[in-house]
Amino acid sequence: INDEAAHTFTRPSARSFIERNNAGAAYVYFNYGMHWMLNVLVKGDENGFVLIRALEPRKGIERMKKRRGLNDVTRLCSGPGKLTQALGITNRHHELDLCSDPRHCFARNTKTSADVVADKRIGITRSAHYPWRFTLRGSPFVSRAVRLEGGAPATPLRGRFRRSLGLH
């Protein structure tokens, strides 16, 4: 995939990270000298990283509020820099296995299907046209609402992503 916004496009260290780590490993880097970014390594038909842009806080909310200095739960983790600040993620979490240890796993296998929609990516200029921003339809925990009309169902990539992490 010709994704100019991906770390693997310009950074040999990112490509070697893929070779030496298993799917589900945390790829953490410092962005613009301001924020840590959390990515999860995905392996399968295509290998690469998925940037974790947001999440819905369910545990440790008081600790997250302290770290972020705010009380609005919907804004605690509503962007990639906000998320890492709220969770206390830094370079010491680089290469951490996010799937094997339940203490570090924030994605769980579930029997309910979520209404996942795809949107154009945000916060980048190169390769921004790819509809690779996945979110739950109507979630108040994201930085910006979905822009595409109704959002496109994300099942093909979502299925491959889930399988690569062992989340059948």
Q: Which two tokens stand for residue 104?
A: 């570090």
User: Taking a C-beta distance cutoff of 8 angstroms, is the pair 139, 151 a contact?
Assistant: no
Which pLDDT belongs to residue 10?
57
| Overall number of domains in the chain | 1
In a domain, 149, yes or no: yes
Which pLDDT belongs to residue 125?
62
In a domain, 1, yes or no: no
Residues whose CB is less than 8 angstroms from the CB of residue 16 and which lie 6 or more positions away in sequence, other chains included: none
Where the chain has pLDDT below 50, the residues are 4, 9, 153-158, 161-162, 164-168
Which pLDDT belongs to residue 23?
87
Please give the order of strands across the beta sheet that includes 48-51.
26-31, 35-42, 48-51
CATH of the domain at 125: 3.10.300.10
In a domain, 2, yes or no: no
In terms of Cβ atoms closer than 10 Å to its own Cβ (0-12, 13-18, 19+), residue 103 is exposed
Which pLDDT belongs to residue 158?
47
At residue 63, what is the residue type?
R
In a domain, 150, yes or no: yes
* Mean of the per-residue pLDDT values of the chain: 73
Which pLDDT belongs to residue 156?
37
Is 0.75 surpassed by the pTM of this model?
no
In a domain, 63, yes or no: yes
Domain that holds residue 122: 7-164
